[in-house]
Structure 1
Amino acid sequence: MNFSAYTSLSGNIVLFCRYLRQHGMRVSAAEQADALRAMRELGFYSAESLRLVLRAVLARSPQELQQFDELYEAFWRELERAQDAKIREHEQERLQQPDDPARKPPSLEVLKNWLHGNKSEEEKELAVCSSMEVLAKKDFSELHGEELQLVMQAIAVLARSLATRYSRRYRSVRRGGVLDMKKIMRSSMRRGGEVIDLAFRQHKIQRLRLVMLCDTSKSMDLYSRFLIQFMYSFHHADSRIETFVFSTRLHRITAQLQQGSFRSALQQLSDSVPDWSGGTRIGASLKTFAEQYGPRLLDARTLVLIMSDGWDTGEIDELEQAMQYLHARAGRVIWLNPLAGSPAYSPEVRGMKAAMPYIDIFAPVHNLESLKALSRMVHGLAGDVWRKKRR
């Protein structure tokens, strides 16, 4: 099956879920989201792997498994015919009205007709899928208008996902989760093998031990608002995370980010951080952190996340000594630089050159796609840290 003919794979999966609902299958919004998440995490290598992934997520009974197979084949046949019809229709209109560039046929009209659903809603769902794919790759400094709100919401979701990690170990729960068959069987042995009570279990949640330091100097103005949103959302997923900002001085902002809304948190920050959008003294700020907070907050199970472009007007020796301390004491040191998203970037400024030998992970943080990559990276590092803890 050739997917290159279709407008958007994620959009087509949304349409497929709607198609299943219209033919009597019980596909909820949560299962639709699970299908999209499964495709993102697992990927697909052939038409058959795509079918198997969607079948595992969306079909919940023997009857639905059979129905799924029939509807799956019918859906893609109809979609291919609709796509071909759409191409022919566009070509015909282009030939009939070559001198009217302003007249453009609706690109989803044929798809909407054969699906027989809510037309405006379907168009909106596909538009959202497409727009988020574009926004995920768009640099934060280029966003404007409604894009800002969409990206802020996406950042909040990413931060909550990143703040927790599920362990391979389980814990007992009263309800929810999955059946704990071992516990059920042990309990039944006391009753002659008769099962009376059910037991459930779910994966334990591993909380990150994370310290975040964000550069809010003038050179970071285009990115600092997004990064503060990231830190704020982290706090509301796990209040044990410690957060700091720095420009010419270091400021602990853990209390301010625990405010009820992002707007009130920003107001608190503007009142308590007088050198916001000022000069840059990264070395002095990190030295202050190392002396005042390092002994209490850092150990081999802690991840340190520094978000800065590396432009330092202070003493480079201070920066190097502070980074050496962080690298020696913390589990991992991650440096996120928004300028690193450019293909032509190389760490040539004095501050970055001094810090690089003591950085475990150096990565960009200029768009949503880079934050998604950070989420996968940190979850992997957190696993290493927790394995060290058990040893």
Structure 2
Amino acid sequence: MEHMRAGELSCLTGSIVRQVTDFAPWLRNHGFRAGVPETLTAIAALAELNLSSINEVCSALRSIYARTSAEWGIFPALFEQYFGIREAGLQEKRRLQPDELIGGTDAGENAECPPLETVKGILAGYHPNNGERFALRADQQVLKDVVVLTQLAVRTIDAPRGRKWQSRGREKIDLRQTIRSALRHSGEPFELKMRRRRPDKPRIVLAIDISGSMKPYAPFITSLAWSFTRVRARTQIFLFSTRLLRVTSLIAQKGVTGIPYSDLPGLRGGTQIGGSLALLLHRYSNLLQRHTCVIIISDGFDAGHPEQMHISMRDLAARVGRVVWMNPLLGESGYEPTSVGMSMALPYIDAFVDVHDVTTWKKAILNGALCSAAP
């Protein structure tokens, strides 16, 4: 790993180095991909810059940390929030001490993160609780109501025809049922039983966002996921944050008692919706058919590349019968789906609904959010 020498920092004070060192973790909480290489580059650049010119410092750090168009547009606002609006937090006159060359402070973790404003119609994938992990446990007080509503919802979802019999436009005699009925009358077939079309079970794929921003809604969403394992449907459940994890059996067995952190390996802080959906398309393509209803439960804050989100949603919508996006923030006053992730996903969504409790779940069902037109 590259290291900076004390001689290269002779023109910087200890306060400046600490502020720049803590800037990368603070940016990561706002959806940026910033690490040690960017920090070393920023410190080296500050040694050559005129620190009295805040615009010059902002432009230099912007070229180092911003990698996408969304990050480039929102970086000046983040820079002003962290360093202060045109106030020189870089002017403290104190020499760098030898014991300060290693390590840093936790100022970046404790820095207050005010709510972000939309910049040029783009909001980066950020939430104050991003990176926070939590256990999943269903809300037992609403389980009964949720299961009843989920049974109603499944009956509205389009299902393929069963394999045993395909209607040809005329009725056929069901020989097995006719013989069974005749046994009640000494073997005389008094009534001919006709075959009936038996539809297959609806096919449902649940993709649930468990990043830190979804923590307030986790009990109800876990209850909703568990209820889909108790109805007549072919259901597969996935959790995602920075990667995708299949948890159908885990939700069915431990959704009520609680799922600890140890049972969710590989799910880290942050949200990469596009990358997770791309993994779903690549690894579990057999689940995505023309009769499948894909339900995505997320607030839409995506820290991944916008193009990845666009491609994943386009391919998903072309392969399945219906895409339903449940956003628990949609019911909040003043909320607009202007984040990068939601902006890329909206053109490919068949139903965009607010579901965060029993009332909103019932309203979504009655409004036909899960009713899919026959392909």
If the length of structure 2 is used for normalisation, what is the TM-score? 0.50
Does residue 262 of structure 1 match 2:255? Answer: yes
Looking at structure 2, the residues matched to 240 and 164 of structure 1 have their Cα atoms a distance apart, in angstroms, of: 13
Looking at structure 1, the residues matched to 268 and 147 of structure 2 have their Cα atoms a distance apart, in angstroms, of: 23
Q: Contact 2:294–2:320 (CA<8 Å) still a contact in 1?
A: yes
Looking at structure 2, the residues matched to 287 and 359 of structure 1 have their Cα atoms a distance apart, in angstroms, of: 16
Does residue 281 of structure 1 match 2:272? Answer: yes
Q: Which has the higher strand share?
A: 1
Residue aligned with 2:256, SS: helix
Q: Which has the higher helix share?
A: 1
**Shift of residue 238, structure 1, vs aligned partner:** 3.4
Does residue 236 of structure 1 match 2:226? Answer: no
Question: 353, 367, 371: which one pairs with 1:380?
Answer: 371
Q: Contact 2:241–2:267 (CA<8 Å) still a contact in 1?
A: yes
Looking at structure 2, the residues matched to 367 and 255 of structure 1 have their Cα atoms a distance apart, in angstroms, of: 23
Residue aligned with 2:343, SS: helix
Flag the structure with larger Rg.
2
Report what 1:159 is aligned to. 150
Does residue 216 of structure 1 match 2:206? Answer: no
Does residue 247 of structure 1 match 2:241? Answer: yes
Residue type of the alignment partner of 2:151: R
Report what 1:353 is aligned to. 343
Does residue 290 of structure 1 match 2:284? Answer: no
Runs of 4+ in 1 over 4 A off after TM superposition: 165-168, 194-206
Report what 2:322 is aligned to. 332
Q: Contact 1:163–1:207 (CA<8 Å) still a contact in 2?
A: no
Residue aligned with 2:335, SS: coil
Identical aligned residues as a percent: 33
Unaligned runs of 5+ in 2: 1-138, 163-172
**Shift of residue 331, structure 1, vs aligned partner:** 0.9
Which digits, 9 at most, give the CA deviation of each residue in 1:121-163, with x for residues without a partner? Answer: xxxxxxxxxxxxxxxxxxxxxxxxxxx5432321122223323
How many residues are paired up?
218
Unaligned runs of 5+ in 1: 1-147, 172-181
Looking at structure 1, the residues matched to 216 and 290 of structure 2 have their Cα atoms a distance apart, in angstroms, of: 33
Looking at structure 2, the residues matched to 353 and 326 of structure 1 have their Cα atoms a distance apart, in angstroms, of: 16
Report what 1:319 is aligned to. 309
Task: After TM superposition, list the pairs within 5 Å mapping 1:22-101 onto structure 2.
Answer: none
Q: Contact 2:154–2:233 (CA<8 Å) still a contact in 1?
A: no
Which digits, 9 at most, give the CA deviation of each residue in 1:59-105, with x for residues without a partner? Answer: xxxxxxxxxxxxxxxxxxxxxxxxxxxxxxxxxxxxxxxxxxxxxxx
Q: CA RMSD in A?
A: 3.7
Question: 343, 347, 359: which one pairs with 1:369?
Answer: 359
Report 1 or 2 for greater relative contact order, CA contacts < 8 Å, sequence distance ≥ 6. Answer: 2
Report what 2:141 is aligned to. 150
Q: Contact 1:303–1:330 (CA<8 Å) still a contact in 2?
A: yes
Residue aligned with 2:238, SS: strand
If the length of structure 1 is used for normalisation, what is the TM-score? 0.48
